[in-house]
Every structure is written in C-alpha cells, then in structure tokens.
C-alpha cells in the first residue's frame, strides 16, 4: 500500500492501452494504490483515433468488391452506395462503448482516474490542470504520440490521421502525402470507399524498411486497385484554388503537376507527446523528436519516473506498449526485474492486400549473413475464379548457416491473421526443415509456407 509520504504508489499519465494495462495490473493484482490522469478520451490513439476505427474502416472499404465477386460465383446481387453518415454514426457508437469499457475496467481495479492534463513538478509530484497536485512513489508516463504536419506554407489546410474519422462527408477527391503504413492504409481505405485517391511519396517505394519484394507487390496491387500512386513526388506548393477562402485545395507537385483536391491528408510522421510536461526541468532526458529516453526496464534517468509506449519511440505498436506496461509492473511491483523484449515482433499493414511481416527482410538478412530465399507469388483460388488479376506473396528468409527462418513476409488477404501464427514459429527460431515437416492444410494460400522445397535464390 502507499506509504504515508505519498498519495499513491503509482501515478500513470496517459489513459491509452499501455498506461491502462499497467494501472489495472498494479492495482488489481499487486494491491498498489494507483492514480491515472488522461486529458482526452480513455483508450488512447489505438482505440479512439488509430487501430480500432481504422480497422473498422478497412472492413467497410473491403465490401466494395464483394458484389462483383459474388456475381462471379453465381449470386445475383446489385451494387449499392456507401453511406458515410450511417457508418460514421455506428463507428462513434462503438468508440463510445469501448471508452466506457476502459473506464469501467479502471474503476473495477480500484484505480482513481482524473480527467485532466498532468505535468510534473518534481520526481514524485504531478500537477493536474484541475489545480490539484498528487504525489507518488513511482510515476509512469504513457502519453503516446501524435501526427505532425510538415513545415510548409498552408499546411494547416490539410488534415492528419486524427481528423479523418470526423469528416462530415466523404470527399470526391483526396491527396494523401506520405509512404508509410498510415498513408498507404488510408489510401486503400478511401479508395475502397469510392474516393478518387492520389498518393504522393517522396521516396522510391512505399513502406520503407519492409521487405522490398513484399512492399513492391503491395504498391503494384494498390495501383491496380485504383490508387494513383506517385513515387519520388512531394508537395511543392499548396493553397486554396483561385485564392478562395474555401473549396478545393490546389497542389503543385515537385514533378510539375498541378491538381485540385477536396481534401489533402498529411501522413508524414508522428512525434512522441512529451512536450510541455516539465520533464526536462526535472532531469528526464528527451530526444530530438521528443522521445523520452529510457533503459531496458523503461526507466528514465530519474529513478522514480518510467515511460512506455509511443512516447519512448521504440516500437510503436499497441501490443508492444501493453507488454512494456506489464514488464514495468513486474519490475517495480512484483520484484522481478523484467527487460522489455523487442525482438521478432510480428506486425501487419492493413493495405489492400494486407502485408504481414515478422523478422528480417531479405535486405536486412543478407547484410548480416548468407541466406536462401524461398518465395512464391500466385493468383489465389478465390479471386482467380472470379477473374481477378490480384496476386499474393509468401516468402521465407532462411539462414544458410543454421537453417533458421530469419523472416517471414506475406502479402495476401488476411495476412495479419496469418502472420500472427507464423510469428510464433519465427520467434521460436524454427528451421526451414521444421516448417517442411509440417503437413500442409489444403487448399489454402498459407500452405505454401510449408511446401516451398527449393530456394528461389541465394543472397
């Protein structure tokens, strides 16, 4: 229980997935007296303006092609129109429900919650925007991150990913600037919902850092599905068309094109939300982009202060923030120092088609050692029967030295579901021969992962 010198054993700043999990477990399983402050909605980026609403939009956008495929299979369906207003209403109802669940879980665990912005006065004191101050033996910062606009004239005319869920109506035309997973996912989503989407990315290929072959196929499929993707391209100038106060946004690109768009969305980066919290004044080190610098136990240079999740800019994924929160509780409240394991984390990109990935890309692996590449790309049965040209990819990167599968990359419908299971095998450091010893499930796309006998190439 809390010592007499402190109001709380733990005070958490941030009500997202990582902060809420740490607060609940510390209070509910270890008997700690816990307070938590959140100045926005409980659930954080993932639940309120990230993973959850985005995935529901992915689902909505995928229905656009269902009628065509159903007709190819003998069903007599007619294409309807997408009703954004109706969908947005149901989306908001679901987010309200989920926020209520988070609040209820915290209350059920005995956590005191404060709907307020929190800053730090010293190593053990939190100041709330309500005027209250609270003291705590330990402070955990889990304030996440936020999207940023580029530093250019009229950038305020564009929206960012947080804003897209609140559009009053779907635009007819939209420019998405960026080539990361957020930009590429929303390009596919909005295209699927019937918006004419253009995407600018200044690099040579979207999804930098992922396997070249896999991201190349995603880009090809996006273009084939209707996204007007311009690589090596950025915004040179933007402003209201004809100098008007409202209406379309006129964009001139670095390649000389000039077009009008109803909406311009910037998906060019996210920064940790650590500014103006008083952290540097009390000795917490902050990196160039605002990331809180921590050690392997998520501890800052001030021993009583810890930080987890996107605010540390380590691996910015919701399940990682939750695991970091659990490791923090083990370290501080269970007496079991637990470093955070950031190795071999599987992830999915919800483009159309999806990409699932775990481990090293071909490029990363061949820089480390000699590898063999097992890869196949084909038209899957379901869409091939419907006359669709879409292709999928299954790829394994294998060490020549010890035959360990160093990486697995899947581009296919439901790749996120597939990579979760493949991630177990790669995390367990199974060999290619152990993959081969696994009997295939037929007929499936994923059976290729255990039936590729001969390497396509060595690298």
Active site members: 442
**All residues at 6 or more sequence positions from 163 whose CB lies less than 8 Å from its CB, including other chains:** 265
Are the C-beta atoms of 152 and 234 separated by less than 8 Å?
no
Helix, strand or coil, per DSSP, at residue 393: strand
Please count the CA atoms within 13 angstroms of the CA of 326 that sit on its side-chain side: 8
HEC sequence for 77-113:
CCCCCCCHHHHHHHHHHHHHHHHHHHHHHHHHCCCEE
Rg (CA), the chain: 24
**All residues at 6 or more sequence positions from 97 whose CB lies less than 8 Å from its CB, including other chains:** none
By DSSP bridging, strand 405-412 and strand 392-399 are antiparallel
d(CA 230, CA 204): 9
**Polymer length in residues for the chain:** 459
Q: DSSP code of 242?
A: G
d(CA 246, CA 262): 10
Are the C-beta atoms of 84 and 169 separated by less than 8 Å?
yes
**Rounded to 5 degrees, what are φ and ψ at 111?**
-85, 130
Residue 192 is encoded by which pair of tokens?
């699927």
d(CA 292, CA 336): 23
**All residues at 6 or more sequence positions from 1 whose CB lies less than 8 Å from its CB, including other chains:** 9, 31, 32, 33
């Amino acid at each position: 229980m809390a010592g007499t010198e402190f109001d709380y054993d733990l005070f958490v700043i941030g009500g997202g997935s990582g902060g809420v999990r740490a607060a609940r477990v510390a209070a509910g399983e270890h008997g700690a007296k816990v307070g938590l402050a959140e100045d926005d909605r409980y659930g954080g980026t993932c639940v309120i303006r990230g993973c959850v609403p985005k995935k529901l939009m992915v689902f909505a956008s995928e229905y656009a092609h269902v009628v065509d495929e159903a007709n190819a299979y003998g069903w007599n369906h007619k294409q309807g129109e997408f009703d954004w207003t109706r969908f947005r209403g149901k989306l908001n109802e679901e987010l309200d429900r989920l926020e209520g669940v988070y609040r209820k879980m915290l209350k059920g665990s005995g956590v005191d919650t404060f709907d307020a912005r929190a800053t730090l006065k010293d190593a053990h004191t939190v100041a709330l925007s309500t005027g209250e101050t609270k003291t705590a033996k330990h402070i955990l910062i889990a304030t996440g991150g936020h999207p940023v606009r580029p530093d250019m004239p009229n950038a305020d005319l564009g929206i960012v990913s947080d804003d897209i869920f609140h559009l009053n109506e779907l635009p007819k035309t939209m420019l998405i600037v960026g080539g990361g997973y957020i930009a590429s996912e929303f390009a596919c989503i909005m295209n699927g919902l019937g918006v004419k989407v253009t995407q600018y990315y200044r690099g040579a290929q979207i999804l930098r850092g992922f396997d070249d072959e896999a991201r190349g196929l995603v880009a090809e499929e996006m273009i084939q599905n209707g996204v007007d993707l311009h690589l090596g391209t950025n915004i040179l100038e933007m402003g209201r068309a004809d100098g008007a106060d409202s209406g379309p946004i006129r964009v001139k690109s670095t390649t000389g094109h000039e077009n009008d768009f109803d909406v311009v969305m910037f998906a060019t980066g996210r920064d940790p939300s650590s500014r103006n919290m008083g952290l540097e004044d009390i000795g917490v080190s902050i990196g160039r982009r605002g990331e809180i610098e921590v050690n392997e136990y998520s501890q800052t240079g001030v021993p009583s202060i810890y930080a987890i999740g996107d605010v540390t800019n380590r691996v910015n994924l919701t399940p990682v923030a939750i695991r970091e929160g659990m490791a923090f509780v083990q370290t501080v409240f269970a007496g079991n120092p637990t470093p955070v394991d950031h190795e071999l984390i599987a992830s999915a990109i919800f483009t159309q088609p999806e990409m699932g990935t775990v481990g090293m890309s071909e490029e990363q692996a061949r820089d480390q050692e000699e590898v063999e590449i097992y890869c196949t790309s084909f038209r899957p049965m379901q869409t091939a029967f419907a006359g669709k040209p879409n292709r999928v990819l299954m790829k394994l990167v294998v060490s020549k030295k010890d035959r360990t599968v160093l990486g697995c990359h899947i581009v296919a419908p439901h790749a996120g579901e597939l990579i979760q299971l493949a991630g177990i095998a790669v995390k367990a450091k199974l060999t290619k021969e152990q993959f081969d010893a696994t009997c295939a499930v037929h007929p499936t796309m994923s059976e290729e992962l255990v039936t590729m006998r001969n390497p396509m190439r060595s690298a």
